[in-house]
Amino acid sequence: MLVFHKLFKGLIITYTFIHTIHIFSVFIYGGFLFVDVLFLSKMKQTLNDEEYKKARESIMMHVRKVVPYALMVAVASGLFMITQVFGEITDNSLSAFQIMLSIKAFLASWLGIRGINQKLFGINPWVFKSHLFPFSLVVVIILLSQLMYI
């Protein structure tokens, strides 16, 4: 029984550590999308085209070093956490929690695949080139994160 207790305690510590990393990486990725969609895109209203391109590129050269990797960490840590909290499928149907978690995982995986394609393979998206759609998905994912525990 003592071995089981130590194993369970170790799993809780591991989950808490990975959950904390997950939250920080989501803050980095979602925070960038928030700033880009709501503020950086508005620079066009006060800057001419040349100034806008120069200002945006000076910001993006730093963003490209951090944000894509934060997305990859968020997706990887999220996939680990799903294995810990999804639970058993009973009566051949999913609970409301499992349905919302599955939707959340699907949307996050789509963002992750999009980000991996861009960063590691240099494949730019053909559709949804702006950050408005990924930002919308992050908002939906955050809402699902809160609703699934109700």
Question: Over pLDDT 70: what percentage of the chain?
Answer: 91
Query: What does the pLDDT look like over 70-94, one tens digit per residue?
Result: 999 999 999 999 998 898 888 889 9
Q: Average pLDDT, stretch 3-30?
A: 82
Query: What does the pLDDT look like over 18-70, one tens digit per residue?
Result: 999 999 999 999 999 999 999 988 998 999 999 999 999 999 999 999 999 99
Stated pTM of the model: 0.83
Q: Judge whether residue 130 has pLDDT over 60.
A: yes
Structural domain that includes position 18: 2-147
Q: How many domains does the chain have?
A: 1
Q: Judge whether residue 5 has pLDDT over 80.
A: no
pLDDT of residue 87: 86
Question: Dihedral (C-alpha) 88, 89, 90, 94: value to the nearest 10 degrees?
Answer: 130
